[in-house]
């Protein structure tokens, strides 16, 4: 069996994923708030509201503390001349090999939180889907994009 890819994401990915995890957990706040409103209107029992609040707190802690740490520990990548090797996943670990001959184009992206932490993501498009290497430093992402573009061009020339 092939060894795991050697390259890790930037350590700055942890605070970014913690912030986004907390922001995503705010969506689930709709359940205790909605139940709280309905319980006041229809005089429903309050113990269910307390359970929903505790469940939301647990989800927020998981999404903002535990999942980003596991996600960062598992995310690895490596770029070879003929393929790109990705390993990621929190509960299910995925291993993806992208042949250079299938790469159509490569982009770097960075949203507002990524820009604040000077991070970027590299998106690798194939005919079937788009793969992404998240949370790289801007310089690493730029160099990786250029390296993949050169390898993909070389792979096309070999046809």
Question: How does pLDDT run across 34-71, given as a tens digit for each residue?
Answer: 999 999 999 999 999 999 999 999 999 999 999 999 99
Q: Is residue 120 within 8 Å of 112, Cβ to Cβ?
A: no
**1 vs 12: CA distance, rounded Å:** 31
> What pLDDT digit, counting tens, does each position of 74-126 carry?
999 999 999 999 999 999 999 999 999 999 999 999 999 999 999 999 999 99
Residue 29's alpha-carbon distances to 25, 35, 54, 60, in angstroms, are 7, 10, 11, 9
* Torsion of Cα atoms, 79 then 117 then 28 then 63, to 10°: 60
The answer to whether 80 and 5 are in contact (CB under 8 A) is: no
Going by CATH, does the domain composed of 76-158 fall within 2.30.29.30?
Answer: yes
Instruction: Give me the count of residues in the chain.
Output: 159
Per residue in 119-152, pLDDT tens? Answer: 999 999 999 899 999 999 999 999 999 999 999 9
């Amino acid at each position: 069996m092939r060894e795991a890819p050697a390259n890790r994401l930037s350590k700055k990915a942890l605070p970014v994923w913690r912030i986004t995890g907390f922001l995503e957990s705010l969506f689930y706040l709709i359940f205790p708030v909605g139940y709280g409103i309905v319980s006041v209107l229809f005089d429903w029992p309050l113990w269910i509201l307390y359970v929903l609040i505790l469940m939301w707190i647990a989800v927020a802690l998981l999404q903002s503390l535990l999942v980003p740490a596991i996600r960062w520990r598992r995310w690895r990548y490596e770029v070879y001349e003929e393929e790109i090797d990705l390993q990621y996943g929190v509960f299910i670990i995925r291993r993806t090999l992208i042949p250079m001959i299938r790469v159509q184009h490569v982009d770097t992206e960075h949203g507002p939180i990524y820009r604040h932490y000077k991070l970027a993501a590299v998106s690798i498009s194939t005919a079937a889907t788009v793969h992404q290497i998240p949370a790289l430093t801007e310089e690493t992402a730029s160099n990786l994009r250029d390296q993949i573009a050169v390898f993909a061009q070389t792979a096309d020339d070999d046809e």
